[in-house]
Structure 1
Amino acid sequence: MSGRRWMMAAAALVAVLQIGFLASMITGRAAVLRDGREVVLAVEPVDPRDLLRGDYVTLSYNISRVPAALFPEPPAQEGDEGRRTVFVRLKPDENGVFQPVAARYDAKPEGAPAPDEVDIRGSTRSRWTADPYSISIRYGIERFYVPEGEGRAIESNLAERTFRMKVAVGEDGAAQIKSFHDGETMLYAEPLY
């Protein structure tokens, strides 16, 4: 009988740990959406023939390729093609769209960001290349889920009109999609939970 109680207690403990892990993931995402700094990014088409895959659209942004000149120095191991963490400092232009102004491997750019700037964290698998090349960076916001059947309209209009994405950026640089806009019209908003 005591063996059965022990098994029940162990099963309950495992269930509580699993629920706690899932809850921490959800609350972490919600914290960035609720408290993160809001930035606006220009959406760029990746490939007009391959944007829609099921119920999501693959996107690229104006910050997806960062000029190599914004990095103060190459990574410590030249030619290293492993995944590297990259921090990119963004600043809004005259249209309110955030643009890269500095970048650095493995740590935030030196100096504190100005009040209108924000540091976003991404990763790259690109090899370091000399000027005038750029570094491709992924921020974890390249896939946007849309209601079933509505992706085709976005796909057909993406190259023709101005789309923007509002993104929340946490203190640690983590980014979460907040809302998707066609010009000034909000098409979709991500729920907090």
Structure 2
Amino acid sequence: MTGKRLIISALVLALVQIGFLSWIIAGRAAILRDGKEVLLKVEPIDPRDLLRGDYIRLGYDISRIPVKLIANIPADKLSSDDTSIVVRLKKGADGYWQPTAAWFAQAPTPAASDEADIVGHVGEGWSLREEGGSIAPDYGIERFYLPEGEGMAIQNDMRVRPFAVRVAIAANGTPQIKALMDGDKTLFEEPLY
């Protein structure tokens, strides 16, 4: 009797784990398939992860948000305290999306059809009272993994000509990188699954 229970317990545990992994993969695929697509200009940052392989670290125009764009800073708040931030983006004349406003926690109104809200995370310690100051949100799209041997070449090219990423943003503001672009040319595209 205990042998049967052990087998049944192991099967149930395996099904739960498979279900959880499937849920994570399906969620990512849903963002890539259905999310609002924006184009962000890339700023090069030094790559390399000896344990994980080639990747490029990505910085964006939206990686530094001027404090003056944050609409809901309480009067007594001097620094950020490990919180989420919503950054409203709007497409510029050059085709790249730029920040137009930001809010801690959530936006007071939904984004218009020609705008997109991306959710990031701000670590502790950023000053919110510096004149001309900025904060640096982490959006979870700061790394893009590449086939082995491709990272350094692309990183070097990023220093001499414009690169961008196409990003899909879910309705809740969660971003996923869809593709790495070299000008108008798609270099690498993320598969749905």
Q: Which runs of 5+ in 1 are unaligned?
A: none
Inter-partner Cα distance in structure 1 for 2:164 and 2:30: 22
Equivalent of 1:113 in 99, 111, 114: 111
Inter-partner Cα distance in structure 1 for 2:9 and 2:110: 47
Aligned residues: 188
TM-score by length of 2: 0.92
Q: Which aligned pairs between 1:116-135 and structure 2 lie closer than 5 A?
A: 116-125=114-123, 126-130=125-129, 131-135=131-135
Deviation at 1:184, TM superposition (A): 0.7
Aligned alpha-carbon RMSD (Å) = 1.5
Per the alignment, residue 72 of structure 1 pairs with 71
Deviation at 1:79, TM superposition (A): 4.6
Inter-partner Cα distance in structure 2 for 1:76 and 1:28: 38
The question of whether the paired residues in 2 share the 8 Å contact of 1:75 and 1:128 is answered with no
Deviation at 1:112, TM superposition (A): 2.5
The question of whether the paired residues in 1 share the 8 Å contact of 2:80 and 2:128 is answered with no
Per the alignment, residue 180 of structure 1 pairs with 180
Per the alignment, residue 161 of structure 1 pairs with 161
Percent identity over the alignment is: 43
Inter-partner Cα distance in structure 2 for 1:135 and 1:65: 6
Q: Which runs of 5+ in 2 are unaligned?
A: none
Secondary structure in structure 2 of the residue aligned to 1:96? coil
Deviation at 1:155, TM superposition (A): 1.2
The question of whether the paired residues in 2 share the 8 Å contact of 1:75 and 1:105 is answered with no
Inter-partner Cα distance in structure 1 for 2:174 and 2:154: 26
Q: Which aligned pairs between 1:80-91 and structure 2 lie closer than 5 A?
A: 82-91=81-90
Inter-partner Cα distance in structure 1 for 2:78 and 2:11: 49
What do the CA deviations read for 1:7-41 (whole angstroms, capped 9, x no partner)?
A: 11110110000000100000000000000000000
Per the alignment, residue 171 of structure 1 pairs with 171
Alignment of 1:149 onto 2:149: yes
The question of whether the paired residues in 2 share the 8 Å contact of 1:167 and 1:177 is answered with yes
